[in-house]
Structure 1
Amino acid sequence: MTAEGRKREIMNFMEGPHSVEIEKEADGILRFRALTGDGRRNVVVEAVRDAASFACDLLKTTKAVVTACKENGWTSLDLDELQSAVGALERALSMHQFFDDRPK
């Protein structure tokens, strides 16, 4: 799931009590858990998604956010980092041929 090969990541939402846990399961499936509460132990909602579809949708949505920011003349270091992340995600997806229509 990550460059370091971890199969589980937790991403915290700012400094608040919320986070999202993403766990890679077999056959390219991702399990998402929205966590809250003391120690972020309470699962609020859980969902499962195909990793390739999620990555493609994430890329599409991120590009739309970057485009909207540019169209409105908004700039920031965060936007620069997001735009850089778009390029990195595109490279990673092309390496895994998620956009390749040829039979595998």
Structure 2
Amino acid sequence: WQQPLFIGLALVISTLLVYWLWRSPSVLSYRLALSAILGGALGNVADRLRLGYVEDLLDFHYAQWHWPSFNLADVWIVLGAALFIWAEIRHQPGSRRRGIG
């Protein structure tokens, strides 16, 4: 039951992201952020459809320390979310700095 749920949820979110991207202000940072999140989400959907699970390829160890494994789609989602937060902060009404992103 989890696979169809995760695939369906990711596709619904991806559809909303496409709509949001289409309706978003033409600020470069917003568009890049939403595109990165969308690309990461669709990358994970592709893994789930192809393999039945999301394959995490990146796994880092240092001495006794271990960072949880992840994949490039996860990297794009996190970078897109960080860029989106940065853009939101930067483009708040009353912000001193405004630009194209």
Q: Normalising by structure 1, what TM-score?
A: 0.35
Question: Whose helix fraction is larger, Structure 1's or Structure 2's?
Answer: 2
Q: Normalising by structure 2, what TM-score?
A: 0.35
Question: Whose strand fraction is larger, Structure 1's or Structure 2's?
Answer: 1
